[in-house]
């Protein structure tokens, strides 16, 4: 029996004038774009002094950003504008290839690896995703990616010049405006556990717009599957008891994917 391939969303854009029903979110779970704030954004940190006399002050700024925001942007990181431009160009090229070419290594299973990917991963893993969010005729009805926290250690994101990333801060969604040639860094769930909740893995989401295609490229740094995750002993005392039980990263990762994207965070499953 022939396998039925679902059409990719990027291929539907030119043929639809409304959001397909299976992408429409329930009314109570829509982005409410009119309530998003643009007044505040995440900190922008300059890494220029990281290896000089200002090392301590830069480290302090990073620590404060991790405690107060869970997100920050960095500039003067050492990656040239030419490399960043080429990465974005190649990414856009990929999404404009014929569907048959893009589907060669496609899988619905996020746990499945291809032979190529297994050649790169050692004990620790680094995963890169290239996301393309096409223009949406009714952006108020759906998401590019609904609210979630990242299950890994740390995520580094290259956001192109089209906005779409939003971070939950003090109960309000805040838009993160793109700053050319910067990277966005966010704390993952494993850092929140190891820091015993001193550093925060915060909810974030991607929204779409009706005018422009948006490209974002996150890189996820992950522990070894058999790594034992728990609050660091140095951060435990009578006033700060451990908030999480010990577990393997493999256990966490499997539960994260099995719970689906309808649940915002997986951390509650591991709290004491």
Q: Is pLDDT at 88 greater than 60 in this prediction? A: yes
What pLDDT, on a 0 to 100 scale, did the predictor assign at position 3? 45
**Phi, psi torsion values for 162, nearest 5 degrees:** -100, 125
* pLDDT tens for each residue of 113-164: 665 555 555 677 888 999 999 999 999 999 999 999 999 999 999 999 999 9
What pLDDT, on a 0 to 100 scale, did the predictor assign at position 113? 62
What pLDDT, on a 0 to 100 scale, did the predictor assign at position 4? 46
pLDDT tier for residue 5 given thresholds of 50, 70 and 90: very low
Residue whose C-alpha is closest to residue 117's, from 109, 108, 126: 126
What pLDDT, on a 0 to 100 scale, did the predictor assign at position 46? 96
pLDDT tier for residue 99 given thresholds of 50, 70 and 90: confident
Q: Is pLDDT at 262 greater than 80 in this prediction? A: no
Average pLDDT of the segment spanning 193-208: 96
pLDDT tier for residue 12 given thresholds of 50, 70 and 90: low
d(CA 234, CA 194): 10
In this structure, are residues 155 and 188 in contact, taking their beta carbons and an 8 Å threshold?
yes
Average pLDDT of the segment spanning 26-38: 91
The more confidently predicted of residues 102 and 221 is 221
Q: Domain 27-97+124-270 classified CATH 2.60.120.330?
A: yes
In this structure, are residues 174 and 73 in contact, taking their beta carbons and an 8 Å threshold?
no
Average pLDDT of the segment spanning 45-74: 93
Q: How many percent of the chain have pLDDT more than 90? A: 68
Handedness of CA 147, 149, 152, 158 (dihedral sign): positive
What pLDDT, on a 0 to 100 scale, did the predictor assign at position 2? 43
Q: Is pLDDT at 8 greater than 70 in this prediction? A: no
The more confidently predicted of residues 264 and 45 is 45
Apex 66 CA angle, 248 and 157, nearest 5: 80
- On whether the pTM is more than 0.75, the answer is yes
d(CA 229, CA 245): 8
Residue 212 neighbours by CB under 8 Å, 6+ apart: 135, 162
The more confidently predicted of residues 256 and 8 is 256
Residue whose C-alpha is closest to residue 153's, from 227, 80, 93, 67: 227
Average pLDDT of the segment spanning 164-189: 95
* pLDDT tens for each residue of 217-254: 999 999 999 999 999 999 999 999 999 999 999 999 89
């Amino acid at each position: 029996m022939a396998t039925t391939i679902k059409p990719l969303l990027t291929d539907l854009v030119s043929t639809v004038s409304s959001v397909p029903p299976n992408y429409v979110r329930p009314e109570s779970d829509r982005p409410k774009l009119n309530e998003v704030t643009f007044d505040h954004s995440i900190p922008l940190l300059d890494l220029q002094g990281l290896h000089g006399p200002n090392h301590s002050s830069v480290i302090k700024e990073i620590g404060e950003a991790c405690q107060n925001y869970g997100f920050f942007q960095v500039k003067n990181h050492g990656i040239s504008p030419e490399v960043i431009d080429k990465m974005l160009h190649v990414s856009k090229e990929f999404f404009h290839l014929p569907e048959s070419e893009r589907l060669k290594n496609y899988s619905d299973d996020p746990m499945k690896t291809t032979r190529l990917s297994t050649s790169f991963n050692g004990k620790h893993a680094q995963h890169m995703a290239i996301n393309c969010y096409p223009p949406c005729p009714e952006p108020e009805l759906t998401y590019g990616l609904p609210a979630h926290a990242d299950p890994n250690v740390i995520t580094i994101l290259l956001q192109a010049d089209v906005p779409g990333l939003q971070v939950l801060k003090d109960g309000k969604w805040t838009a993160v405006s793109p700053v050319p040639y910067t990277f966005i860094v966010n704390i993952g769930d494993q850092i929140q556990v190891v820091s015993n909740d001193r550093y925060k893995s915060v909810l974030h989401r991607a929204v779409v717009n009706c005018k422009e295609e948006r490209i974002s490229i996150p890189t996820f740094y992950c522990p070894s599957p058999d790594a034992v995750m728990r609050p660091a002993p140095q951060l435990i005392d009578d006033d700060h008891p451990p908030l999480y039980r010990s577990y393997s990263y493999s256990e966490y990762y499997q539960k994260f994917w099995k719970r689906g994207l309808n649940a915002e965070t997986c951390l509650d499953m591991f709290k004491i």
